Structure 1
């Protein structure tokens, strides 16, 4: 039985890779609604919102050189941006951190949020 488990696991992982790449491509398109306020390239300046390069795995409210709201400063350090927290944030930022200065109502579509998260997790040049 074990002989079949390892190849099956490897096959499933390989099958997921194109889906993740597709999600990141869809996320890049969906992220276009974010570019007015956020940059994502390494070393790019902050805009109205912080640069999101390397946001996945980072503590909230810690982008270098960005001036965060009092609400984000107070609560942000307790949040690490992972897929679950990013999903909640993208769904409705003010529900995650009431008083945030991010004036964005959210992304209601779960598939679109997942695609944006896949894009944010993708290594950027």
Structure 2
């Protein structure tokens, strides 16, 4: 029977013990000088970086004029279909069915358990700019939403998806 496995284990164990001993000896030899007070005075206030304000989105209306519904269908199928369905009368999945969402109220499906943040917006309509902001960064547009999606950063993709969602209606909303 070969002892190669034991030799490899012993080598790793020896190296680990050597590094541990070297660290202990280094800690005893080197004594870093700790400052009595911070080197930078903040006037008693702890300095923290202010969160960067989100950049304002350009209006989506001009991009909707040239939006491509088929591109929107492709993006929605790739990015949204894991959680949403798009057919009339379709079932809810992890997220609600999105048929007839454009122009409808936030939390538009009675048979879906929305987050309290989304339910609070039920009296507001999903207009083009609201959808643009939500598709860009859902958590920023509706703080407290359960939608765990980072968003679509490209404005033309958002316009294409919105045009696709608009087409999912018996009476599509007029373009802005």
As a proportion of its length, which structure holds more helix? 1
| 1:64 Cα deviation from its structure 2 partner | 2.8
User: 4+ residue runs of structure 1 moved beyond 2 angstroms?
Assistant: none
Q: Which position in structure 2 is the counterpart of 1:116?
A: 161
How many residues align? The count is 105
Alignment partners' CA distance in 2, 1:123 and 1:85: 17
Q: 1:60 aligns with which of 85, 99, 106?
A: 106
For residues 57 and 35 of structure 1, the distance between their equivalents in structure 2, rounded to whole angstroms, comes to: 21
Partner of 2:140: 95
Higher relative contact order (CA 8 A, sep 6+): 1
Q: TM-score, normalised by structure 1?
A: 0.78
CA contact (8 A) 2:101 2:108 kept: no
Cα distance between partner residues in 2 of 1:59 and 1:45: 18
User: Once the 2 structures are TM-superposed, how far is the Cα of residue 124 of structure 1 from its aligned partner?
Assistant: 5.2
SS in 1 for 2:122: helix
The higher radius of gyration belongs to 2
Gap change, CA 1:77 and 1:67, over 3 Å in 2: same
Change (3 A) 1:70 1:108: same
Q: Which 5+ residue runs of structure 2 have no aligned equivalent?
A: 1-64, 171-176
Q: 1:78 to 1:96 in 2, by over 3 A?
A: farther
Q: TM-score, normalised by structure 2?
A: 0.56
In structure 1, list runs of 5 or more residues that go unmatched.
Answer: 1-15
Per-residue Cα deviation, 1:69-119 (whole angstroms, up to 9, x for no partner) = 111112x22431111110000000111111100000110000000000000
1:24 equivalent among 69, 72, 78: 69
Alpha-carbon RMSD: 1.6
